[in-house]
Amino acid sequence: MNTLILATKNTHKTKEFQSVFNNSITIEDLTRLQYNNEIIENGETFIENALIKCREIYTKFNQPVLADDSGLSVKALNGKPGVLSARFGGEGLSDQDRYMLLLEKMKETKEREASFVCALVLYISPNRIFIIQEECKGYIAEKPSGVYGFGYDPVFFLPQFNRSMAELSESEKNEISHRGKAAKQLLKLIPELFCM
């Protein structure tokens, strides 16, 4: 298996996975496949949402599918925005709108612990499913910084680097990010599937 369908239209995610897999696997995302149906992610966990995406895309294309569901879990907000990270604050908001809303909600709290969480599901067939969940721990900064990455990266502070996720290079981010760690675990777990 050298080709996977990546169940996303998010070009940032596609680029991150291609980088982590070091172009050893051909990734076809939903934009490239011109799949325009909206997938209803109504699971209560990141794993449930990734499975929902995999099942729908596998049913349509009958090919191995890789899906992730990821988001930000903030301790002071009881784990929110969680599975609703991409829709935090409502539909139609930009990434900047969302992280500024998060900062507004947290302006009175000193407790700033947070984690990026990634559930990664490789759906080879209904009987061959691999699930991995990883996280990257950090803190919510008091103000945004950095120009790289996407989503909540500008407000996710990493004390070991003394920088935000949005200030890391692509290679630095892939080493420590929730998505990078999950993808590396997948490669270790089932290398024969990737002909490596």
82-85 — which CB contacts under 8 Å span 24+ positions? 83/41, 83/43, 83/44, 83/45, 83/46, 83/49, 85/151, 85/152
* Catalytic choice (29, 68, 69, 153): 69
Annotated active-site residue 69? The verdict is: yes
Number of H helices, E strands in the chain: 5, 7
Q: List CB contacts of 147: < 8 A, sequence separation 6 or more.
A: 166
- Please provide residue 9's backbone torsions phi and psi, each rounded to the nearest 5 degrees: -110, 0
**HSE, side-chain direction, 13 A CA sphere, residue 168:** 23
Residues assigned a catalytic role: 69
